[in-house]
Amino acid sequence: MAKTKIKTIAILTGGGDCPGLNAVIRAVSKTAIYNYDIDVLGVEDGYLGLIENRLRPLRQLDVSGILTTGGTILGTSNIADPFHFPVKTNGKTILTDVSHKVISNLKKHNVDALICIGGDGTMASAAKLAKLGIPIMGVPKTIDNDLVGTDMTFGFDTAVTTATEAIDKVHTTASSHHRVMIIEVMGRYAGWIALHAGVASGSDIILIPEIPFKISAITDFILERSALGKRFSIITVAEGAKEKGGSLTVQQTIKDSPDPIRLGGIAARLSAVIQQKTSLETRPVVLGHIQRGGTPTPFDRVLATNYGYTAIKLLMENNVKNHLVVMQGGKFGSIPLSRVAGKIKPVPKDHPLVQAAKAVATCFGV
In Å, what is the CA distance from 161 to each residue of 153, 157, 197?
14, 6, 7
Q: 318 vs 1, 3, 315, 366, CA distance in Å? A: 9, 10, 6, 49
Strands (E), 77-222: 85-89, 92-96, 113-118, 136-140, 180-185, 205-207
Residues labelled catalytic: 144
DSSP-assigned letters across all residues of 234-282: EEEEETT--BTT----EEEE-TT-SS-EEE--HHHHHHHHHHHHH---E
The span from the CA of 91 to the CA of 97, in Å, is 18
- Cβ distance 207 to 362 under 8 Å? no
Pick from 323, 264, 25, 259: which is nearest to 121 by CA?
A: 259
Question: Residue 265 phi/psi, 5° resolution?
Answer: 110, 0
Phi, psi of 16 (to 5 degrees): -70, 155
Note whether 293 and 67 are within 8 A (CB). Answer: no
Angle at which helix 156-177 crosses helix 192-201, to 10 degrees, equals 50
Alpha-carbon span 30 to 210, nearest angstrom: 40
